[in-house]
Amino acid sequence: MEGCTLMATESLPVELSLDKIRTNENQPRKTFYIETLEELAASIKERGVLQPITVRPLHGKDEGFYEIVMGERRFRASKIAGLSTIPAVVKELSDEEAATDALLENYQREDMNPIEKARAVQGLLQFMSYEKVGKTLGVSETTIRRMLELLELPLAIQQELIQKPGPGEGPFNEGHARLLISVNDDPAAQTRLVQKVKQEKLNVSDLEKIIQAIKQFPQKKEAFLRVAVAVTDQMLRSLGAKAERSRPYKAQTAEQHLKTIDKQATTLADLLDARIGEYLSAEHMNQLLATTAELQRELDSFNARIREALANKDFGFREVYIHCPLCGRVELIGSLRCSVCWTILRRCYDCGNYDRTFEKCSVTGSKIFIGEAENPKDYSKSYKCPMYKPKFEAQAIKLKMA
C-alpha cells in the first residue's frame, strides 16, 4: 500500500511503493553489475519478487519513507522491471542493528567482493569491538584484521579488486592484492603490477616471484616489470649466481660444483649444431650469436682465472691436451684420469719418448713392457711422468694461454 507507515504485524511483509524507499549509503554492497541486475529483473517480471526486502522506517524530516536494510539488488531490479511496489518487511532497527543485519545478509554471498566486506567490517567497528564483530560474523579477530589490511591499499588498487576482468584479461583477486600491500611505498609499481597480472594472466605465485625479485634486485625493477615471468626466472638464476660469486666460497662444494659444470658443458656441447642457422631468421641468428658470444666472454674470463690458479698450485703446469685412449674425450694431461671413463691418460704407448721396439723410455732408459705401456696403473712410471710428450696433437679447440 503506497505511503504505508504502519509496522508489519509479526514481521509479515507489506507492499511498499518503490518511491517511498531510500537506499542506504552505508550499505556494505557498493558494486552492482548491470548484467546481473537485468537477469534478476527478467526473473522478477516472470515470477515476481520471491523474497521480501527488509526496510526500517525513517523519522524526522523523512517521516513516511523507508531505508533499505537488506535487498538493494531486488529493489534496483524491481525498478528495472517496471514495478511500482515491492514486498517488504518493516523493522524498527537502530543504526547498529541495521548495519549488522545488512552485513550478515551479504557476508556469505560469493559475489560480495573483499573490499566491500572490509569496508562493512570497518563500519561495524565504529560501534562494536573486534571481539563482538568477530562473534557476530562467526570469524576470528585475526580474520577481521586480515580483511581490514586490504583497506591499506591505495583506492586505485582497491577499485581494481572490485572490477571484473576486461575482455581477454586474467583475474586480479584478493591473493594478488594482499601481495601488493608490501609495495605500498611504490604506487606506480603497484599499478603496473596489477596490469601485468591481468594482461599476462599471472597467478599469485607468479606475482610473488616478481615482487620478491624487485625487492632482492631493485636496480633491475624496470626489467622485472616488463619481461615475462619465465624470463624473470632466468634473470633470477643469473643474478643469483653473480651474487653467490661475491660471497665467500664454500670449499666443501667445489667437487660438486665441478661435476655440475662438466655435466652442463657436455649438454651444451651436444646442442652446438651449426645447422640450426639454416632454419633461423636473421633476427634469431643475431640473438643466438649474442648469447654464445656472451658465454664465450664468460668462459674466457673463467679460463684465465683457472689457468692462474693452476700456475700458482702446480709448478711446471703445461696446458697440453690429449685424447683419452679409451673414450676419446679431450683432457689436459694434468687431469691424470679421464673425467668420463676414469682411464689413466698418460700412457707410454702414446708418448713420443717411448721406444716401442726396445720397450723402454728413450729419455730415462727405463724398461717398460708393452703391456704396461698400453694399460698403465696408478703406480706405473707414466702416471705422473713430467716428461710425457703426446705423440699426436689433440683435435680440440686451441685455447690460448692467458
What are the pLDDT digits (tens) for 350-400? 999 999 999 999 999 999 999 999 999 999 999 999 999 998 887 654 544
Output the CA angle 207-29-202, nearest 5 degrees: 15
Asked whether residue 172 carries a pLDDT value surpassing 80, the answer given is yes
**How confident is the model at residue 360, as a pLDDT?**
95
Stronger pLDDT, 207 or 135, i.e. the higher one: 207
Are the C-beta atoms of 56 and 68 separated by less than 8 Å?
Answer: no
**How confident is the model at residue 111, as a pLDDT?**
63
Side-chain-side CA neighbours of 255 within 13 Å: the count stands at 2
Give the whole-angstrom CA distance, residue 335 versus residue 388: 13
Give the whole-angstrom CA distance, residue 171 versus residue 194: 10
Asked whether residue 4 carries a pLDDT value surpassing 60, the answer given is no
Asked whether residue 139 carries a pLDDT value surpassing 60, the answer given is yes
Which amino acid, residue 196?
K
3-class secondary-structure state, position 171:
coil
Side-chain-side CA neighbours of 309 within 13 Å: the count stands at 6
Out of 72, 116, 160, 372, the active site residue is 72
Who contacts 63 (Cβ-Cβ below 8 Å, separation ≥6)?
5
% of the chain at pLDDT higher than 90: 51
Stronger pLDDT, 31 or 332, i.e. the higher one: 332
Asked whether residue 150 carries a pLDDT value surpassing 90, the answer given is yes
Side-chain-side CA neighbours of 154 within 13 Å: the count stands at 15
What are the pLDDT digits (tens) for 265-298? 989 988 999 899 899 999 999 999 999 999 999 9
Give the whole-angstrom CA distance, residue 117 versus residue 48: 29
Whole-prediction pTM = 0.57
State yes or no: is 72 an active-site residue.
yes
Are the C-beta atoms of 204 and 212 separated by less than 8 Å?
Answer: no
Who contacts 373 (Cβ-Cβ below 8 Å, separation ≥6)?
347, 348, 349, 354, 356, 359, 382
The domain spans of the chain are 9-112, 153-241, 313-402
Are the C-beta atoms of 367 and 373 separated by less than 8 Å?
Answer: no
The residue count for the chain:
402
Which of 4-13, 129-138, 300-309, 327-336 is predicted with the least confidence, judged by mean pLDDT? 4-13
Mean pLDDT of the region 195-211: 96
- CATH fold of 9-112 reads 3.90.1530
Asked whether residue 27 carries a pLDDT value surpassing 90, the answer given is no
**How confident is the model at residue 402, as a pLDDT?**
41
Give the whole-angstrom CA distance, residue 44 versus residue 29: 21
Give the whole-angstrom CA distance, residue 123 versus residue 373: 92
Asked whether residue 2 carries a pLDDT value surpassing 50, the answer given is no
**How confident is the model at residue 11, as a pLDDT?**
66
Give the whole-angstrom CA distance, residue 335 versus residue 384: 10
